[in-house]
Amino acid sequence: MSWAASPAAASGGAVRDDAGDSGRPGRPPAWRDGGRARSAVRTVQGIVSVGGAGIVWIALLGPVITLLVRMSPGDIWSALTGAGNLDPLLTSLESAGVTLLVLIVFCTPLSWMLARGKLPFTRVWEAGILCTLLLPPLVIGLLLVFMVGPYSWIGTVLSWMNQSATNTFLALVIAEVYESAPYYVLGAQSAFASVDTRLEEQAGLLGDRPFRVFRRVTLPLAAPGLAMSLAIAWARAIGAFGAVVIIAYHPYGIPMQIYVTLQETGLYTALPYALILLVIALPLPLAAYIWSARAGRRRRG
Amino acid sequence: MLDADVEVDRRDFRVQAALSVGPGERVALFGPSGAGKTTVLEAIAGLVPLRSGRVLLGDRVLSRAGVEVPPWQRRVGLLRQDPGLFPHLSVRANLLYARSARSGEVSGVAEALGIAGLLAAMPARLSGGQRHRVALGRLLLAHCDALLLDEPFASLDLSLRRSLTALVRTISTGRSLPSVLVTHQLADAQAFADRLLVIDRGAVLQTGTPSEVVLRPASRRVAELVGYLGFVPVPSGAGAEEGTVAGVHPERVIAGDWSSRGLVVTGAVIASRPSGAGWEADLRSGDAEFTCRLTEPPESGTLSVTVLDPPYFGADGTALDRDRNRA
């Protein structure tokens, strides 16, 4: 190439000046081979801290462990095969799925604008989101009755379209959206805020229009954080109960089914639904966690 | 040809600078931190709005009253202290990021920059110098029409800084790219540039070749910025006006009385210490104090030194014609 530097200026310089820096590419740092984990339990202090962490961890998992211990395969089988028993499962999956779509479409741009300070008086907007986070779900449900119930103007408009926002699938989705949205918005905001704006600026100078910058730089870099926020929102949506019990008693999702079964036939018959809730709610957060951990590893080379 | 005459409002002051950089020419904007140097670069790159002025690159208008070409259409390469590699993309994908980049050119550029063996690596695994090389390669493959360098190598050690500066010089000349370097290190500016613009608080104080600026500062402020550490009064009996001072650059002082080579100053040695391969001494002459570098350790008491061909400044701080003031 015409501008190729003299050997002394380019390749020679490269060999000399870069050799001693932070290690060769492709070699994992020593702590990743498990050496640190082994050395953690060699000292008394190490044993105490690992033991303490283990106790906290088991205590946190206590309900899950209890659930697994209390259940027999026969209980699970009869819960899954009873007539109409899978309907709440389907209702929960559908409503939480629609909720996630609503969050992605409407709340992702809001989170991005909050993260980038694109809105005037950002703090006011954030305070609003925090308010919805702080409202107990039961209160959200009560307020939703006044907001979208049959005697509200929204309810009236809905009734003109032969729709209703109480005790319908729509009501269930509304309740789940209100219970999960603040978690998603705040999580996604922090995911976007973690992307260095200098990188976006650099992508722009390299010829990308803003939307392409978003697609090629912002979104991939925020993706692990977005996935985790989405997973949390999913867990909130599928387990939503407080607002649901007020505004969407019907159709039953899994949490409603657990509550009703508990009321009607007692503790033991309600437990299998709890297991189902765990089993269907868990894969998405787990996948998001594994995926974001892998993305982080890939970035570290 | 990069032709910029920009005026940008900052919170604390207004930045005003005009520079014209020919193809393959290298210009350095030199000044203290916070002087507005980076703002000038960002104005050229289209990252901050102009209050008024214009930016022309080749036959393209980038900014002018009523015209504001967005950054992504400017084809201007900006290299900052943080090389800004995309952490989720491999070195190869980083190099090929720009849509104008052609994959056939990657190996040639990588070879010339000494990063050919790193194409599959992720940026996190690279050393500081390697990252800058990749960032530079990315700009070259993007076929930008001008290079803007915002103290890119400031965090690197001296030898690495030198080799990368030499590399950018070669590239700028070879590709006939107008290049602008922003730095607060005079040595970096001198190593890079054909021409120097001294900026302070948003205003260009002097433009000239690096040696012109250092040896003939246009004002006392410029002299302070380029390293003159003392100003000694010139006796009015020697034909100088009242209040005239001579600038003393520590590196332009020799021990002894050599009146044919400059201004002889006799002062009391206040302090001395080893500096590099020689010595540094603080002297007081009348009310003025100055520092000079000497080859031998000074003895205590008084010392006569010759300030080689010093610049003279009037009471208002502007440079005076030295022939008129020579004693």
Question: CA dist A33 to A292, B124, B203, Å?
Answer: 20, 19, 56
Does residue B132 share a domain with residue B213? yes
Does residue B131 share a domain with residue B30? yes
Partners of residue A301 in chain B, C-beta under 8 Å: 121-125
Does residue B176 share a domain with residue B54? yes
Of B217, B234, B262, which residue is a domain's last?
Answer: B217
Does residue B233 share a domain with residue B146? no
Higher pLDDT, B53 or A86: B53
> Exposed e or buried b for every residue in A257-289, given b needs 16+ CB within 10 A?
bbbbbbeeeeeebbbbbbbbbeeebeebbeebe
Does residue B161 share a domain with residue B308? no
Does residue B274 share a domain with residue B130? no
Chain B interface, best mutation among A2, A3, A198, by max B CB count within 10 A: A3
Partners of residue A201 in chain B, C-beta under 8 Å: 47, 71, 84
pLDDT at B313 over 70: yes
The ipTM, to two decimals, is 0.84
Closest-CA distance, B191 to chain A, in angstroms, reads 14
Cα B141 to chain centroid distance, Å, stands at 26
pLDDT, one tens digit per residue, over A226-265 is 999 999 999 999 999 999 999 998 898 989 999 998 999 8
Q: Which residue of B has its CA nearest to A207?
A: B72
Domain that holds residue B170: 2-217
Does residue B119 share a domain with residue B99? yes
Does residue B317 share a domain with residue B187? no
Distance from C-alpha of B84 to C-alpha of B81, rounded to nearest angstrom:
9
Are B197 and B29 in contact, with CB atoms under 8 Å apart? yes
**Averaged pLDDT, A144-152:** 91
Are B97 and B143 in contact, with CB atoms under 8 Å apart? no
Burial of A53 (0-12, 13-18, 19+ CB in 10 A): exposed
CB nearest B87 (choices: A17, A206, A299): A299
Cα A31 to chain centroid distance, Å, stands at 29
Of B217, B239, B257, which residue is a domain's last?
Answer: B217
Nearest to B166 by CA among B192, B129, B195, B136: B192
Number of domains in chain B: 2
Q: E strands, A51-142, where?
A: none
- Given CA atoms B208, B214, B218, B223 in this order, what sign does their dihedral have? positive
Q: E strands, B276-318, where?
A: 278-285, 288-294, 302-308, 312-313
Q: What is the dihedral of CA B285, B286, B290, B295, to 10 degrees?
A: 10
Helical H segments across B216-257, by residue range: 220-225
**Averaged pLDDT, B89-95:** 95
Q: What residue segments make up the domains of chain A, in order of their start? A: 67-299
Does residue B59 share a domain with residue B23? yes
pLDDT at A40 over 90: no
Q: What is the mean pLDDT of chain A?
A: 84
Partners of residue A214 in chain B, C-beta under 8 Å: none
Q: What is the pLDDT of residue B320?
A: 86
Chain A interface, best mutation among B41, B144, B171, B177, by max A CB count within 10 A: B171
Does residue B137 share a domain with residue B270? no
Nearest to A132 by CA among A140, A123, A124: A140
Give the predicted TM-score (pTM) of the model.
0.80
Does residue B48 share a domain with residue B171? yes
Of B164, B185, B217, which residue is a domain's last?
Answer: B217
pLDDT at B239 over 70: no
Contact partners, residue A281, CB within 8 Å, separation at least 6:
A234, A235, A238, A239
Q: Give the least confident one: A68-77, A142-151, B166-175.
A: A68-77
Fold classification of A67-299 (topology level): MetI-like fold (1.10.3720)
Partners of residue A21 in chain B, C-beta under 8 Å: 127-130
